[in-house]
Structure 1
Amino acid sequence: MQNQIFELQYALDTFYFLMCGALVMWMAAGFTMLEAGLVRSKNTVEILTKNIALFATACTMYMICGYAIMYGGEWFLSGIAGGDALVADALAASNENGFGGDSVYSAASDFFFQVVFVATCMSIVSGAVAERMKLWSFLLFAVVMTGLIYPLEGSWTWGGNDVFGLYNLGDLGFSDFAGSGIVHMAGAAAALAGVLLLGARKGKYGPKGEIRAIPGANLPLAALGTLILWMGWFGFNGGSVLKLGDIASANSVAMVFLNTNAAAAGGAIGALLLARLIFGKADLTMLLNGALAGLVAITAEPSTPSALQATLFGLIAGVIVVLSILALDKLKIDDPVGAISVHGVVGLFGLLLVPITNPAATFLGQIAGAATIFVWVFVASLIVWALIKLIIGLRISEEDEYEGADIAECGMEAYPEFVI
Structure 2
Amino acid sequence: MLYEVVILSTKRIVIVGGGAAGLALASKLGRKWGGSDVVDVCLIDKSPIHIWKPKLHEVAVGVIDQSIEGLLYRDHGLKNGYRYIRGEIEQCDPDTKSIQLATVYNDDGELLLAPRQINYDILVLALGGVSNSFNTLGADEHCIFLDNLENANLFHHKLLDALLQLNETQERVSIGIVGAGATGVELAAELHHVIESVKEYGYLNIAKHHLEVHLIEASSKILPQLPERVSARAQAVLDKIGIRLHIGVQVKEVTHEGFITQDGDVIKAGLKVWAAGVKGPKAFENFTKLPITSRNQIEVDTCMRVKGHQDIYALGDCALLMQDSGRPVPPRAQAAAQMADTLFGNIVNRLQDKPEKAFIYKDYGSLVSLSRFSAVGNLMGNLRSGDFFVEGHIARLMYISLYQRHLASLYGWFSAVVYRIAQKLLKWQRPKLKLH
Q: Which has the higher helix share?
A: 1
Q: Normalising by the residue count of structure 1, what TM-score does the alignment of the two structures yield?
A: 0.32
Q: Which has the higher strand share?
A: 2
Q: Larger relative CO (CA 8 A, sep 6+): 1 or 2?
A: 1
